Amino acid sequence: MSTLFICTLDQKKIVRLFNFTVALGNLTFFIALVVYSYQGFFSRYWADDYCFSAIYYQQGIIDGLGTFYNTISNRYAAYLFVALSEFFGINAIRVLPAVMVVGMALGLTWNFRLVFLCIGFPIGRLSAFLIGQMMLFFTLLEAPNLFQSLYWRSGLVSYFAPLLILVLISGLIISYVDKRPRWWLWILLPALAFFAAGASETYAAVQTGAIAIGLLGLIIFPRTRSTRNRKIISWILLIALVGSSLAMLVMILAPGNQLRLGISAQAPNFWTVIRLSFKHALDFAFYSLKGMPVPITVSFLIAFILSYHLSSNQKKEISSKQILIPLLVVLGAAYLLLVCTAAPTAYGMMAYPEERAWMVGRFIMVVATVLIGIGMGIYSHHFMDRIVDTCVMTILILGLLCLYPLRAAWQTYQMLPEAQMRAIAWDKRHSELISMQNQGIQQTIVPAFDSIHGVYELTSDPQFWVNQCAAGYYGLESIKAVE
């Protein structure tokens, strides 16, 4: 047998080799996320960004929110996200993607330290940070339209930003699984759930569905915790569900819905919504697995090998039934959450969700893949330890897998000059518009840009909605963009 399959190192050397590999993985994923974040510094105002900001500058936060909710859209949290961004000035839009990336990486790290602690396998900060970075990286890498989801503020505040709050909600819930909740948790959780759900109908449906699935799980699997702990967790989930459901009610009752519903055909009945939602969720999962087998496999294997080694010193025996049921629950819950992702578009437009909306679905699939990998890695001691001593081989494989993000980092780095030139051109046009405004010129002509990743740009028609929003943002009567 090859020496690669035989552990010739003592335990201390194995630990050092594993720790070195974990550090290497943290470095490579960190490099990739830094490149993704740096590209965000070239983000500028596009399409709906002008509309959001125009309302904010003309009417402020409170009056602007009223106008937005009553006449334009029910996404009150999306408007508040933008208002918070504008409070820090025009340059805030450039750092917003980086802030979201950092927040998500730290939030996911915190969550997975808590998860491993709950299942009886406490892990160090570096291992948890590797899992957090890995999950975020693959969410960004596999995003159906990363520009619309991360680098376009209007898409970010509706779909990606609320995921950060979901991670915060999840961490708060998990952290109080085995202890008595603080009094402020009963206020903070429903407030966070209410605020985040107002970002978009898609996210609201997913958040509400996730909390409801959690409550249902406590009912179906009542022996997972003591009676006292189950009651506490149930009450925590219930108050979060109240906040999320209230947000959905507020969104449903918004007068601004009429504008959006008036331009598309709604589903004729409830069963049509159910059928389309389940079909679109299945299509998304199938074509994701078919179209991206390599990144999905890599994310699974990294989680698998990491959890295999992190649990190697534990003496707990896990039966096939103990691992099979949680894995089936993860798969079932993930599919139902994909159904929730598809449902709002199925109802409001009888259509497949837009690419930026599937950013939420992509996050769900990445989480499910990693959780399945972790579960299988812990269970794998049943067969891997009996076949060969895999300590060296699996660590070497883990090291090779951790080089994968460098490819995406290089590809993204090569696109930076194009993004930079586009940002320079936008800055020049912005300065021209400001200069015209200062000179009292109310009807302006500026250079036109190409549409970017499906996001609308200024056109030669001053009555086009993007032109009108931009004119309102700059305080002009009309803007016309020509080649």
Write the pLDDT tens digit of every residue in 393-429: 888 899 999 999 999 999 999 999 999 999 999 999 9
pLDDT of residue 5: 36
Q: What does the alpha-carbon distance between residue 429 and residue 458 come to, in Å, rounded to a whole number? A: 11
Instruction: Indicate whether 22 belongs to any domain.
Output: yes
> Is residue 422 included in any domain, yes or no?
no
Whether 479 contacts 433, CB under 8 Å: yes
Burial class for 432, CB neighbours closer than 10 Å (0-12, 13-18, 19+)? middle
Contact 364, 163 (CB under 8 A): no
**Same-domain status, 22 and 58:** yes
- Do 234 and 85 belong to one domain? yes
Quote the percentage of the chain above a pLDDT of 90: 59
- pTM of the full predicted structure? 0.92
Residues 303 and 443 in one domain: no
Nearest to 347, CA basis, from 250, 264, 254, 247: 264
Q: What secondary structure does DSSP assign to 365-419, as a single string?
A: HHHHHHHHHHHHHHHTHHHHHHH---HHHHHHHHHHHTTHHHHHHHHHHHTHHHH
Confidence of residue 206 (pLDDT cuts 50, 70, 90): very high
Q: Does residue 424 fall inside a structural domain?
A: no
129 in Cβ contact with 25 (< 8 Å) = no
Q: What is the pLDDT of residues 268-326, one digit of tens each?
A: 778 888 999 999 999 999 999 999 999 999 999 999 999 888 877 665 566 666 778 88
Beta bridge partners of 180: none
Listed in sequence order, the residues at least 6 apart from 445 whose beta carbon sits closer than 8 Å to its beta carbon are 479, 480, 481, 482
Sorting pLDDT into bands at 50, 70 and 90, what band is 385? low
Residue-number span of the structural domain to which 342 is assigned: 3-414
If asked whether residues 386 and 240 sit together in one domain, one would say yes
Residue 426 lies in a domain: no
Query: Do 339 and 203 share a structural domain?
Result: yes
78 close to 198: Cβ distance less than 8 angstroms: yes
Whether residue 286 contacts residue 359, with contact meaning beta carbons closer than 8 Å, is answered with no
d(CA 146, CA 144): 6
Q: Same domain for 410 and 443? A: no
Picking from 414, 442, 458, the residue at the C-terminal end of a domain is 414
In terms of domains, do 232 and 262 share one? Answer: yes
Pair (379, 469) in one structural domain: no
With respect to residue 427, please indicate whether it lies within any of the assigned structural domains: no
Residue 483 has pLDDT above 90, yes or no: no
Rg from Cα positions in the chain: 24
Does residue 419 belong to any structural domain of this protein? no
Chain length of the chain: 483
Domain count, the chain: 2
Residue with tokens 């200024």: 458
C-beta of residue 136 within 8 angstroms of C-beta of residue 346? no
Same domain, 59 and 115: yes
Q: pLDDT value at position 12?
A: 76
If pLDDT is split at 50, 70 and 90, which confidence band does 63 have?
A: very high
142 and 273 part of one domain: yes
Statement to judge: residues 133 and 240 lie in one domain:
yes
How far is residue 244 CA from its own chain's centroid? 18
402-416 burial string, b = 16+ CB within 10 Å, else e?
bebbeebbeebeeee
| Within a domain: 135 | yes
- Dihedral sign computed on CA atoms, order 214, 220, 226, 230: positive
Q: Among residues 386, 414, 442, which one ends one of the domains?
A: 414
Instruction: Write out the DSSP string of 321-350.
Output: HHHHHHHHHHHHHHHHHHHHHHHHHHHHHS
- Reduced to 3 states (helix: H, G, I; strand: E, B; else coil), residue 8 is coil
pLDDT digits (tens, 9 = 90+) for 68-89: 998 888 899 999 999 999 988 8
Q: Are residues 466 and 353 in the same domain?
A: no
Spatial distance between the Cα atoms of 280 and 292, rounded to a whole number of angstroms: 18
d(Cα 296, Cα 298) in Å, to the nearest integer?
6
pLDDT for 415 equals 93
Residue 425 resides in a domain = no
